Amino acid sequence: MRSLGFALLLILLVPLAALAQQPGLTVEDFLRAPTSGPCETGPISYVFIDNHNIFDRRQGRFAWAYRIANRIHVRTRKQVIERELLFAPGDCFNPILIDESERLLRSYPFIAQVDIYGIPQPDGSYHVIVETRDAWSTQADVRVSLRSGVEFEGFRALETNLFGRGQELGLYYITRDATRDYGVRYATPQLAGTRWDLALALGATRAGTLAAQTVAYPFVGDVSRWALIESFAREDRFFDYTTTVEVDDRFLHALMPVRDKVFDLAVVRRFGFAGNQSLIGGNLSFQELTYPGDPELARGDDILTPITPGDTLLLLESDTKRDQLNNIRLGVMLGKRNVHWVRRRGYDSMRGEQDIALGAEAGLVASRSLPALENDDDIAGTLALYTGFAISDLTVATRARVDGRRDFNTPTDRSEWEDILGDAELLVYYKPDPLSRHTLFFRAAGVGGWNTRTPFQLTLGGDRGLRGYRNDRFPGGRRVVISLEERVYFGWPFRNTADIGGTAFLDVGRMWAGDAPFGENTGWLASIGAGIRANVPAGSRTTYRVDVAMPLRAGPNIKDLRLMIAVGEPFGFLTRFGDPQLARSRRDRVADDLFRFH
C-alpha cells in the first residue's frame, strides 16, 4: 500500500511539471481586468529603473567607509527588480498595479526603500520611474550564554541577495545543551528568471540528517488568480524536553529521537478582486512520523546513563507522547480575505516603511486520510484568523491559529480529538505622530496544546517568552506572555547613514502544566530589559539588535543576565506569526500562509 501511495503522489506531480513548462503563465493571465481595449489613463511608454547602492554619500569624513561598503556589497540587478513589476511598456498606466509592485518590492529584505511613480508625457503616455535603495544584505546572528561564564551557543549567517540576484544562502551552527544542528539552505524567488520560488535545505543534527525542498508559484500581490506548492522534507531530530531536575546549575534534558517525513502538493484558486477575495483549493499530503530509538538523558553536551530510579522516571515521562503517524490525506482549502494595505513608518524598525493589512481574513484547511493506502484513519483541520484596524494613533491587529486531529481508531476511553494546538496574539502600536521618534508597542500572546499524543512541550523563558529567563526555564503545556516596549529613535549619530535607537521592555507571563511532560504551574513571573537597535542604511526595515534582560525578582544576580544579539525584532508585524516551540509539534505546513501561499 505504501508503494501505491508514493506512486499516486508521483502521478500528481506530472501536471505540476507540465504547468511549469507553459510559456504563457504570466501575471497578465491572472489580472482581474483585461488590458486590451481603450486605455483611458494612457499607456506606459517607458520604464526607468534607478537601483541605488546602499550609500550615496561620496564626501565627508567617512566617505572612504561608504565607498568600501558599496564595493563589498553587490547591487541588486535591474532584471531582478524588473521581474517583480506588474507592468511593462505598452500596458495601461494602472495605479493599482503601481502600488502592488511597490509593495512586492518592499517585501524583500534586501530592498531598503522603494518609490514608484508615473510622469505624464505630452503625448498622453506615462514614463514610470522605479527608484530603489539596497539594504545591507549580509546578516549574522550570534548566540551567547552567560550562565556559566561566556558560552558560545552557535551562529546563523545569511546572505539575502546573493550576487545581486535576490537569492538567499544561509549557514547555521546551533549547539544548545545536548542538541547540535548545522546545515545550509538556499532559496530564490525567481527560479530560472520566472516567478516560481525554489527553496532547498541540507543539514545534520545529532540525531541524523535533514533534507528539504520546496517549489512554489505564490500569489503575486493581490492581483493574481492561481497559486500552487510542492514540498518534501525528511528530518531526523531530537525533540528536546526540558525537565525540572537541576544538576550543577543545569537542567537535565530528555531527548526523544524523531524521524519526520512529509510531502505536500496543493493548488489554490482566488476569486474576486483586491479588497474582497475568496479562495478555494485542494491538497494532497503524505506524512510519516516515527521514533527510531528510546529517549536519552542529557546534561549540557553530555549524554547520561540512567543510574537512579529518578533518572528512569524522567525517561518514562518523556516517553508518553510517541503516537506514530502514517497517512496520505486529501484536503480542501477555503479562505476569505477583505483587507486593504496601509503604509506605516517606524513600527518594527526605527524609520523604515512597512505595509500593514487592515481588515479581516479567515482560512480553513480540512483533510481526510485514506486508510486504504496507509495506516491512519482520521481527519485533520486548521483554522487561521486575522483582523487589523486603525483608530487615530493606534494600530491594532490579532492573529490566531488552531490545529486539531480526530482519530477514528482511538480507544473508547480516550477522546477522539487529539493534538489540538493553538496560538494567538494581540499587537497594538501607538505612535502619536507619523514623524514621532517614539513608538509604544504592546503584545499579549497565548499558546497551548490539549490532549497531545505526539511530542509537545513549551517553556516560559526565551526570546518569545520572558526574555530575562533562559530558553529551558519553566516547561509546561499552556503559556501566556504580555509584553510592553518603548521603542525610541535617537536620530544620532550618523543620521544619514544608519537609524540608531533603543528599546526598554517588560515581559510578564505565566505557565500552566497542561498535559506536557515535566509541566509545571508557575504563577505570574516577570523580566525587564533594554537594547540597542540599528537599521543600515537609514530608512531600511532590517533591524540589528543587542538586548540584555534579567528576571524581575528579589535578590537579582549578575549571572541571571542574558545577552541576545540577533537580526529582526522578536515581536511585531515583520515577525512571521507562529510560536517556534509550537512549530516543532505542528504537522500541517501548507496552512502556514494560505493567502500568500509560498
Statement: residue 23 has pLDDT above 50: no
Q: Please, how many CA atoms are within 13 Å of residue 337, restricted to the half-sphere of its CB?
A: 26
Residues 348 and 232 in one domain: yes
Per-residue pLDDT, 177: 64
Domain boundary among 81, 111, 134: 134
User: Is 559 exposed, middle or buried, given 0-12, 13-18 or 19+ CB atoms closer than 10 A?
Assistant: exposed
- The DSSP bridge pattern shows strands 167-176 and 208-217 to be unpaired
Q: Which domain holds residue 94?
A: 37-134
Statement: residue 2 has pLDDT above 80: no
pLDDT band per the 50, 70, 90 thresholds, residue 593: low
Per-residue pLDDT, 58: 58
- Range scoring the smallest mean pLDDT among 11-15, 522-526, 557-561: 11-15
Q: What pairs with residue 141 in β-bridges?
A: 156
Indicate whether 523 belongs to any domain.
yes
Indicate whether 31 belongs to any domain.
no
Q: Tell me: the pLDDT tens digits for 469-483?
A: 988 899 999 999 999
Per-residue pLDDT, 56: 76
Q: Which residues of 81-99 are buried (b: 16+ CB within 10 A; e: fewer)?
A: beebbbbeeebbbbebbbb
Indicate whether 15 belongs to any domain.
no
Residues 79 and 103 in one domain: yes
Per-residue pLDDT, 244: 87
Q: Which residues are within 8 A (CB) of 135 and not within 5 positions of it... i.e. 6 or more apart?
A: 54, 109, 110, 111, 112, 536, 537, 540, 541, 542
Statement: residue 255 has pLDDT above 50: yes
Residues 338 and 451 in one domain: yes
Q: Looking at residues 30-47, what average pLDDT do you find?
A: 68
Per-residue pLDDT, 594: 62
- CATH code for the domain in which residue 212 is found: 2.40.160
Indicate whether 375 belongs to any domain.
yes
**Secondary structure of residue 125 in the 3-state scheme:** coil
**Cα-based torsion angle of the residue sequence 268, 271, 277, 278 in order, rounded to the nearest 10 degrees:** -60
**Secondary structure of residue 487 in the 3-state scheme:** strand
In angstroms, the CA 577 to CA 371 distance is 33
One-letter amino acid of 13:
L
Q: Looking at residues 565-586, what average pLDDT do you find?
A: 90
C-alpha cell recorded at residue 270: 482566488
Domain boundary among 134, 164, 195: 134
Residues 339 and 222 in one domain: yes
pLDDT band per the 50, 70, 90 thresholds, residue 596: low
Residues 435 and 546 in one domain: yes
One-letter amino acid of 598:
H
Statement: residue 32 has pLDDT above 50: no
Indicate whether 374 belongs to any domain.
yes
DSSP string, 126-140: EEEEEEEEEPP-EEE
Residues 212 and 112 in one domain: no
pTM for the model stands at 0.87
Task: Decide which of 30 and 47 is more confident.
Answer: 47
pLDDT band per the 50, 70, 90 thresholds, residue 89: very high
Q: Are 207 and 188 in contact (CB under 8 A)?
A: no
Per-residue pLDDT, 598: 42
Q: Tell me: the pLDDT tens digits for 334-347?
A: 999 999 999 999 99
**Domain total in the chain:** 2
Angle CA 395–400–404, to nearest 5? 175
Q: Tell me: the pLDDT tens digits for 508-546?
A: 999 999 999 999 999 999 999 999 999 988 889 989 999
Statement: residue 561 has pLDDT above 70: yes
Task: Decide which of 316 and 547 is more confident.
Answer: 547
Mean pLDDT (the chain, rounded): 86
Statement: residue 230 has pLDDT above 50: yes
Closest CA to 290 of 454, 517, 518: 454
Classify the phi-psi angles of 19: left when phi > 0, otherwise alpha if psi is within -120 to 50, otherwise beta. Answer: alpha
The H or E element that residue 261 is part of is strand 250-273
Statement: residue 22 has pLDDT above 50: no
- CATH code for the domain in which residue 94 is found: 3.10.20.310
Residues 283 and 368 in one domain: yes
pLDDT band per the 50, 70, 90 thresholds, residue 488: very high
Residues 104 and 204 in one domain: no
Cβ atoms within 10 Å of 63's Cβ, excluding its own: 12
Statement: residue 304 has pLDDT above 90: no
Statement: residue 29 has pLDDT above 70: no
In angstroms, the CA 504 to CA 510 distance is 21
Indicate whether 598 belongs to any domain.
no
pLDDT band per the 50, 70, 90 thresholds, residue 571: very high
In angstroms, the CA 341 to CA 241 distance is 41
Q: Which residues are within 8 A (CB) of 461 and not within 5 positions of it... i.e. 6 or more apart?
A: 468, 469, 470, 471, 472, 473, 474
Indicate whether 82 belongs to any domain.
yes
C-alpha cell recorded at residue 168: 538567499
Residues 175 and 267 in one domain: yes
pLDDT band per the 50, 70, 90 thresholds, residue 306: low
Q: Looking at residues 55-79, what average pLDDT do you find?
A: 80
Indicate whether 30 belongs to any domain.
no
Per-residue pLDDT, 57: 64
C-alpha cell recorded at residue 172: 547555521
Q: Looking at residues 266-274, what average pLDDT do you find?
A: 92
Residues 536 and 423 in one domain: yes
Closest CA to 515 of 584, 421, 580: 421
Angle CA 115–117–122, to nearest 5? 155
User: Is 64 exposed, middle or buried, given 0-12, 13-18 or 19+ CB atoms closer than 10 A?
Assistant: exposed
Q: Tell me: the pLDDT tens digits for 321-331?
A: 889 999 999 99
Q: Tell me: the pLDDT tens digits for 273-285?
A: 888 999 999 999 9
Domain boundary among 110, 134, 158: 134
DSSP string, 168-183: EEEEEEEEETTEEEEE
Residues 472 and 580 in one domain: yes
pLDDT band per the 50, 70, 90 thresholds, residue 7: very low
Statement: residue 421 has pLDDT above 90: yes
Residues 55 and 175 in one domain: no
Q: Tell me: the pLDDT tens digits for 387-413?
A: 999 998 999 999 999 999 999 988 888
Q: Looking at residues 100-106, what average pLDDT do you find?
A: 94
One-letter amino acid of 117:
Y
Q: What pairs with residue 326 in β-bridges?
A: 288
